[in-house]
Amino acid sequence: MAHTTLMMIKPDAVENGHIGGILEKVTAAGFQIKALKLTQLSKNDVERFYEVHQERPFFGELVAFMSRGPIVAAVLEKENAVSDFRTLIGATNPAEAAEGTLRKLYATSTGENAVHGSDSDENAEIEAAFHFAGRERF
């Protein structure tokens, strides 16, 4: 059965010219793109998106980083999309990310780690609805 996940290509990877490289790896890994856009989050948008982390010491840094420039948001479809995409992106800290993963290839630090992937089917649907109207999803 096909499942969905929500990807963001974060501002660092967009600034560094990695949109094309990342989308190539994502589609080569068998994910189908069901929604896609270049957009910029406000500080308030980031505070809502990453609300679960609001008490963490890095929250202010995360809000500043994620709102500083454009991101790419996408809904991806594949069997076991959430867990397979987490495997493709690699560990949160790129120094711990496996060879060939998106964070190993494109991330520079734990804070600026190139790509987001949903952590559950439930959150994937909440995050997809956060970024896309129904008519933008296929």
* Positions marked active-site: 116
Number of residues counted as binding Mg ion (CB under 5 A): 1
Please report, as residue ranges, which positions from 37 to 76 form the binding site for ligand ATP (by CB under 6 A): 53, 58, 61-62
Contact yes or no for 32/78 (Cβ under 8 A):
yes
Q: Which is nearer to ligand ATP, 129 or 138 (CB)?
A: 129
Q: Which is nearer to Mg ion, 24 or 61 (CB)?
A: 61
Contact yes or no for 89/9 (Cβ under 8 A):
no
Closest separation between CB of residue 59 and ligand ATP, Å?
8
Contact yes or no for 106/13 (Cβ under 8 A):
yes
Residue 21 is a binding residue for ligand ATP (CB under 6 A): no
Contact yes or no for 39/86 (Cβ under 8 A):
no
Please report, as residue ranges, which positions from 105 to 124 form the binding site for Mg ion (by CB under 5 A): 119
Residues β-bridged to residue 4: 77
Tokens for 17? Answer: 């010219």
Binding partner of residue 138 among ligand ATP, Mg ion, none, CB under 5 to 8 Å per kind? none
Q: Is the dihedral of CA 56, 60, 62, 63 positive or negative?
A: positive
Closest separation between CB of residue 93 and Mg ion, Å?
13
Residue 116 is a binding residue for ligand ATP (CB under 6 A): yes
